[in-house]
A and B are shown apart, each in its own frame.
Chain A
Amino acid sequence: MFVTIFGSVEQGIIYAIMALGVYLTFRVLDFPDLTVDGSFVTGAATAAMMIVLGYNPVIATLVAILAGFVAGCITGLLHTKGNINPLLSGILMMIALYSINLRIMGFTLENSVGRPNIPLLNVDTIFSTVAAWWGNLGIDAAITSALMGLGFEKVPKTWSALFVGLVIIIIIKLFVDWFLKTEVGLAIRATGDNQRMIRSFSANTDRLIILGLGLSNGLVALAGALIAQVNKAADVTMGVGMIVTGLASVIIGEAILGTKTIMRTTLAVIIGAVIYRVVLALALKSGFLDSGDMKLITAVIVIIALILPQMIDKYKERKRKAKRLAEMRTKVEQGGNELA
């Protein structure tokens, strides 16, 4: 049980990067961007391809971010310059990326142009590099003995992947928080909030939308690149339903922590992503669900997360009204007594 939860927290923290990307488009720009399903794989494919070709995994990951950024910008161009509806722009880019991703992975083959997956066994990844260094620190052994002492029988093999994920997500969170408070960041937020208004303050909304989509998909591609490295494989189908996963994380997080400030909302999104993974893992562990049911579970989680807050609000309002009515009644009664 503990190992299952640990594993999903480890993955959840990486998926949180993707969720922050989805937050940038869905919430900040108010642009339902479906490019994500494709750009996640683009990140994974680019990083895996370069790692297999012998590049440093850090460089491979940076190039993956760039690839995602470009993909997002193209979606933005389709929407702003081509006047294509946001949903359709994203879908078009998503299916175009499917073919592009096959081609990207195909660079690793000499006799073929497309390739559906790349295993990353026996190659250096960010995680394996850090794990090697981490192993010398002796932290794992210390934690293991401490946990054993507490009565856990099965414990995680290494905490290094969680460490890498935490460092990266903290950097990304601080970056997003900072960026959304800069002049450009404010203008992007205003674009999602009131386009007509920000245009009257001399902001080029087209360019801001393109930039926002680029940044969002850059983050999504980073998540894809890291997931490929931690799971030791890139696969052309690994992005299916990613947009719903991201959305689920955003909605769950917001429902729990609220959206008072930017810093709080980004934290909420990260926590939402982790909770989502844990819930999913526990649902699968319950026994009667199969891993093929994952997408169904995802859909159900999102539906619950969307409907539950509404029901809670309604319930609260009804209670508030009932209370006020009761107060008014007592007042009237008291008034009557005074008159008498």
Chain B
Amino acid sequence: MSLLKLQQIQKTFNEGTPDEKVALGNINLHLKPGDFVTIIGSNGAGKSTMMNMISGALTPDYGRISIDGKDVTALPEFKRSQYIGRVFQDPMAGTAPSMTIEENIALAYSRNKPRGLRMGVTKKRRDIFRTALERLHLNLENRLGAKVGLLSGGERQALSLLMATFTQPSILLLDEHTAALDPSRATLITQLTKELVAQDQLTTLMVTHNMQQALDLGNRLIMMDKGQIILEVEEQRKPHLTIPDLMAEFEAIRGEKMNSDRALLG
């Protein structure tokens, strides 16, 4: 039983113009519950397009997407996001800067229930929020009333991650969520990702430019190029995989050297 199923997904941008670009050509992907898939590939490989397809920000030209057996292809983003948590690359993108930490978490808290005229932050909820924030070890639990705009990029990204996973969504999408942070903050967020995903056994898709990160995290790995999934590494093989292996695979498939420095060194 697949939790997330992409079947024959195709998407072309600017169709019929000189700028026509096939962003995704016939993507098939199945995720079991608890799978943690890392996605690598050079710029323009279609990684972000695929994430946007799953989240509902883009709709495919052709193909079918289902979550937990339910066809969600035509479901708009805001409805689909009941099941999907998402962290963006930009640390500013996942939180509301002019609202306080507790108000931001309250927004995440009411993700999968209809929002009504109840108070967003109550005493009882505040206790829940505080306990959750303790998992980040950033002392944010004592700054519940601080505006999120005052936090550093790393703190905001940690908060985004907590908020995205707060209601234990069926699927967690991580879109290069450590790429905009300095190395020490990136390590912290990577560590938190590992912890949060493991604790709640979240089914996760993570795009990264960092090959080492792609190897360290998750139980499966896929490599994309020019709108195709060109390599799928399954659970049994992934722990033994190295960066040279990946580069050799790429050469063997594409008959050319991997040319993106960023993809190599990340």
Contact = CB atoms under 8 A, between A and B. Distances in A.
Are A and B physically bound partners?
yes
Nearest to B114: A183
A200 interface: yes
A204 interface: yes
A181 interface: yes
A182 B117 contact: yes
B79 A202 contact: yes
Contacts, number: 84
Interface stretch (A46-54, A184-192, A220-228, A269-277): A184-192
Say which size band chain A's interface belongs to: 20 to 34
Interface of A is mostly: helix
Contacts of A196: 88, 93
Interface string B97-111: 111000110111011
A321 B236 CA distance: 60
A187 B107 contact: yes
Which of the four size classes fits the interface of chain B? 35 or more
B117 A183 contact: yes
B46 to A, nearest CB: 20
Interface in B80-119: 80-82, 84-86, 88, 92-99, 103-104, 106-108, 110-112, 115-119
A333 to B, nearest CB: 34
Contacts of A202: 78-82, 111-112
B149 to A, nearest CB: 9
Given A197-B93, A198-B96, A184 B106 contact: no
A283 to B, nearest CB: 33
B34 interface: no
25 contacts: A179-B117, A182-B117, A183-B115, A183-B117, A183-B118, A186-B99, A186-B103, A187-B107, A189-B99, A190-B99, A190-B104, A193-B96, A194-B96, A194-B97, A196-B88, A198-B96, A199-B77, A199-B81, A200-B55, A200-B84, A200-B85, A200-B94, A201-B110, A201-B163, A205-B78
5 A-B pairs with least C-beta separation = A193-B96, A183-B115, A186-B120, A202-B81, A190-B96
Interface of B: 55, 77-82, 84-86, 88, 92-99, 103-104, 106-108, 110-112, 115-121, 163-164
